[in-house]
Structure 1
Amino acid sequence: MPFGGKARWGVRSTVALLAAITGLFLAPATVPATAASAKQSSAAKALAGKYVPVMMIRKQGENLCDTKVEQYQVMTVDALFGNPDVRLMRNNGSSKSTLIKQAPTIDDVRNRGEEAYIDLPGDPLGDTCVYSKDFTRMKNEGEAPVAVYAHIAREKGHSGIALQYWFYWYFNQFN
């Protein structure tokens, strides 16, 4: 459920609240939303929208392999799920990994632990810039809309909340 608006300096941010907003909406997905939970969800959206982050990113030019500019932008994670080119893998503690599932869904990824990871098509090493080309294709085809995720957390026994934002980048060459 994305929402947002035009931020300062012309940077557009869309904020999508995660399905479970800890401390504000704890009802299971199978239980119909009550007026109170809808009001809390609305308040959470308003709070996240009020403090939406502003990002300054160097615009990518014609050369998709130019690393002097940002080759990627924040995007929704939805493009990964159900994609036949994406694999959910398990790190076995050696140089070998095993396939858990091809074209994983969000349910396949949920609660997998530290040993599981998403394997994107291609190799980030070398001069192929395959990730930049793949991201640009997804962006041009409307599969990678800008998205910023918000999470509101509370700690039992403490007043106040923590408003956390999460950004997904298709690839981050610094990690």
Structure 2
Amino acid sequence: MQNKVSVAPAGGESLLFLTDDQLRRGIEAMFFAYRAFTADPDLILAELDYGRAHHRAIHFIHREPGLTVTALLDVLGVTKQSLNRVLRTLIEDGLVESRIGRRDRRERQLYLTDKGAALERRLSEAQRARMRAAYRAAGPQAVAGFRQVLEAMMDRDTLRQYRALKELPDTP
């Protein structure tokens, strides 16, 4: 017998019943969507002998220039040792610059160099194009629903981190 999941709104009436098979298809859709979403950046990263950890670091440093190493550790949820390996490579290759903190000289603030910003653009262009096309095809209600589903999947601390990210202005 299939287990059913019921999601009830504030009013108490049930809106959604999903079987285990339907949930499994959703999980599989996420696996395949993630594979497609990362495919183009993975090809670029492979040219440079980098991995997805490099991409995530570049993404968040680009998103918030001056981000501290401690804040990046918190956002990425990786070990200090793991992040240090990634940052060491990015700094040695001239993609990231580490500067002494303005308020606290013990802090290290991270910035992309021009070369790092160019790589970030290459990595994100394909992903933005894929997201833009998918959002257009699905429509505005689906976009809002997709974000709600993603946020509902996050644990409380992860959701807090996500919501704490400053809103960025739309750029051309």
User: Where on the TM-score scale, by shorter chain, does this alignment land: which range?
Assistant: under 0.3
TM-score between the two structures when normalised by the length of structure 2: 0.22
More helix by share: 2
More strand by share: 1
Q: Which fold has the larger relative contact order, with Cα–Cα distance below 8 Å and residues 6 or more apart in sequence?
A: 1
